[in-house]
Structure 1
Amino acid sequence: MSEGNAWLPPRWVIRLAWKVHRAIYRVSGGRLGLSLPRDKRYGTLRLTATGRRTGQPRSVLLGYYVDGPNLVTMAMNGWGEPEPAWWLNLQANPKAEAVLADGSRPVRGRAAVGEERERLWARWQEIDRNLDEYAARRTKTTAVVVLEPR
């Protein structure tokens, strides 16, 4: 696509895709739905954080890539305006569990800032060439979330 024409499907299609992806993961007992990042493709992980209101575990499937010992994702909610609930939960309680295709690990979530955010954002731009156009659809800055081992 040319500059300024990054296409996204309608919101209902994005939400349906999320539901289908979660159902595949759930029905397969976790055997399907997760992937490791490769070359210029992100992987998919399952993040479980504590609900900020309920105190109950809340899980979501997210795209990520590896940066040294850390996992990097974005709080972008399908490029919709509201902040994703998982990110709000992680801000309230940074301790979480990340399940990857090759195992699980306890993590602590935080927003990247300054030079680190710029570097990690640039890596996402290598994975998704329309990243800046998608991010421009939101009035808030999209958080680059670092999941550090704990």
Structure 2
Amino acid sequence: MPPRWFVRLAWSVHRGVYRLTGGRVGLWRPRGAGWGALRLTTTGRRTGRRRGVIVAYIEDGPNLAVLTMNGWGEGEPAWWLNLRADPDATVELVDGRRPVRARAAVGDERSRLWARWREMDANLDGYAARRPSETAVVVLEPGPRASGTARDDPTADQPRSP
């Protein structure tokens, strides 16, 4: 496994390419049994500002599933902490933007989704064992329409309107 600094650098470069190309490069749909990349925009739990991050995902019917791996380091990624405080968010996919509502998968659903991720990477359990806590599997369900609100604003890091 590459060192954590390398994983974080790779995702930072990925985000930079996405920004430099105006979103034309950096997102893709899952191919075959693989994963895709989406841009998730949450509301900061302390600041109320829009925060964007690119994460890997798989499709599960109408839902999307992501892992809270945080580069396999300690602690939860900020985007997951933000979603736990406010589960309504927006995802940008290759074919457009849509509202979602996040929740942690539990029980059989978590086991099933974890197994699907493991099919793509046989070392997944070993990587997860490096973390002091269980890696959450987050389900992004189609969310309520939020037309005309700050949730539709494509710009991250902007104050949320009341």
Q: What's the TM-score, normalizing by structure 1?
A: 0.93
Deviation at 1:14, TM superposition (A): 1.5
Counterpart of 1:114 in structure 2 is 107
SS at match of 1:48: strand
Q: Please report the RMSD computed on the Cα atoms of aligned residues, expressed in angstroms.
A: 0.7
Counterpart of 1:74 in structure 2 is 67
Identity over the aligned pairs, expressed in percent?
Answer: 66
Deviation at 1:101, TM superposition (A): 1.1
Q: What's the TM-score, normalizing by structure 2?
A: 0.86
Give matches, 1:26-41, under 5 Å. Answer: 26-41=19-34
Q: Distance in 1 between matches of 2:85 and 2:92?
A: 20
Correspondence for 2:122 among 118, 123, 129: 129
Moved over 2 A (4+): none
Q: Distance in 1 between matches of 2:16 and 2:25?
A: 10
Q: Distance in 2 between matches of 1:83 and 1:24?
A: 25
Give matches, 1:130-149, under 5 Å. Answer: 130-149=123-142
Q: Distance in 2 between matches of 1:82 and 1:25?
A: 26
Deviation at 1:77, TM superposition (A): 0.4
SS at match of 1:59: strand
SS at match of 1:46: strand
Count of residue correspondences = 143
Q: Distance in 1 between matches of 2:9 and 2:108?
A: 35
Deviation at 1:18, TM superposition (A): 1.5
SS at match of 2:18: helix
